[in-house]
Amino acid sequence: MEQRIYEIVRMIPYGKVTTYVDIAIILGNKGLSRYVGSVLKNNPYSIYVMNGDLMVPCHRVIKSDRTIGGFFGATNGDLIRQKIQILQNEGVIFETNGKICVQSIIHANIK
């Protein structure tokens, strides 16, 4: 199932994000959202590895409340600031309250 999660995350376009719940829905079980987060926390194909087509842009996955979520297990601090910066560099739009604009989110239709 981990490889399927990585496949789904690879399909998230540059400049867009999706949620842990949306990935779980694609997997067929909305209740798997925490498992999705756990898998991505240990992503061996992250943006920092940059191994060509193998890269899994886990920074493009957020919480369903449109907040940033985690990044490599962190929920605050430097890693979260890096995740925000990467997303902004990719063109993801943030609201003044720190949430991601709905226009930047794609939902469970990424198959």
**Smallest Cα–Cα separation from 8: which of 75, 91, 32, 49?**
32
Q: Is 101 one of the annotated active-site residues of the chain?
A: no
In angstroms, the CA 14 to CA 68 distance is 16
In angstroms, the CA 61 to CA 37 distance is 9
Catalytic residue (one of 23, 27, 39, 58): 58
**Smallest Cα–Cα separation from 69: which of 100, 90, 96?**
100
The residues assigned a catalytic role are 58
